[in-house]
């Protein structure tokens, strides 16, 4: 009977401790505060995804990456709210995340910058630094849109791949001088069946450079591929 009384007392003490812990959590974070933070994180993540879509200059845009940016912001916000100033939780989170490995390589370094941007917004919103979050979101968005606008004003970069006979090389270069603002031969391969020349060209628009190349005697095939050109090159 004494053991039963001790068991009941232990249960009562455990329930009291659980009640105190739950009350402490509610005093720190109310459901309304969590919903407001998540809503702000969703808005911030959506803005980041929209800026990424508007400034993307690659060949193939990935909608799943934009969704990833929103999810990163949403996930980081409650994690930071939970950790708060608890050193033990923060160290445990670092240890848990240290074993996570991402096997999908990020091809564009700018994509990595957008991921860090999303994580930063989640950290700021989770720490209730709404003023800093708003200023950072607007400032970085304006900066990225301005940089993208400046890149749009510059000529577009393309790779022109031409399969031709060797005697047509001079005519190809003359056509490039006449049709494009800038060109640079990247590579040239000569085989017994013919030659392949890869040329970097700058065009204000997609001119009829491919059609003009096909009109040259000795040119068998011409392909124009969009590429990313380094600034100042």
Element (H, E) at 233: none
Residue 113, beta-bridge partner list: none
Q: What is the pLDDT of residue 137?
A: 95
- Domains of the chain, residue spans: 2-153, 156-226
**Is the CB of residue 36 less than 8 Å from the CB of residue 75?**
no
Q: How far is CA 69 from CA 111, 115, 171, in A?
A: 10, 6, 49
The model's pTM? 0.60
Q: Between the CA of residue 150 and those of 108, 146, 155, 159, 204, what are the distances in Å?
A: 19, 6, 10, 21, 14
pLDDT of residue 15: 53
pLDDT score at 4: 44
Record: fold of 156-226:
Alpha-Beta Plaits (3.30.70)
- What is the CA 178 to chain-centroid distance, rounded? 38
- Cα(164)–Cα(196) distance, rounded to whole angstroms? 6
Helix, coil or strand: residue 160: strand
pLDDT for the residue numbered 181: 77
Q: Quick one: pLDDT at residue 70?
A: 94
pLDDT of res. 5: 47
Task: From first to last of the 233 residues of the chain, give the pLDDT tens digit.
Answer: 444 444 545 545 555 554 555 555 555 667 788 899 999 999 999 999 999 988 887 667 788 889 999 999 998 898 888 776 565 555 556 555 555 565 556 667 788 889 999 999 998 998 888 999 999 999 999 999 888 777 655 556 788 899 998 888 888 888 888 888 788 888 888 888 888 999 888 776 555 788 888 888 989 888 888 775 554 44
Amino acid 143: pLDDT: 93
């Amino acid at each position: 009977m004494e053991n039963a009384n001790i068991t009941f007392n232990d249960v009562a003490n455990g329930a009291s401790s659980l009640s105190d812990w739950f009350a402490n959590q509610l005093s720190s974070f109310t459901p309304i505060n969590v919903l407001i933070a998540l809503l702000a994180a969703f808005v911030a993540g959506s803005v980041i995804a929209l800026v990424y879509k508007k400034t993307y200059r690659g060949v193939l845009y990935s909608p799943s990456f934009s969704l990833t940016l929103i999810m990163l912001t949403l996930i980081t916000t409650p994690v930071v709210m939970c950790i708060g100033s608890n050193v033990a939780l923060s160290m445990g989170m670092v240890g848990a995340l240290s074993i996570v490995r991402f096997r999908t390589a990020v091809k564009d370094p700018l994509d990595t910058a957008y991921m860090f941007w999303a994580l930063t917004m989640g950290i700021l919103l989770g720490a209730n630094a709404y003023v800093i979050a708003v200023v950072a979101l607007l400032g970085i968005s304006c900066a990225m849109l301005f940089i993208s606008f400046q890149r749009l004003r510059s000529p577009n970069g393309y790779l022109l791949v031409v399969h031709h006979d060797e005697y047509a090389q001079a005519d190809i270069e003359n056509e490039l001088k006449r049709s494009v603002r800038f060109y640079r031969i990247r590579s040239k391969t000569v085989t017994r069946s013919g030659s392949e020349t890869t040329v970097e060209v700058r065009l204000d628009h997609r001119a009829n450079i491919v059609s003009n190349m096909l009109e040259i005697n000795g040119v068998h095939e011409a392909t124009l591929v969009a590429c990313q050109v380094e600034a100042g090159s």
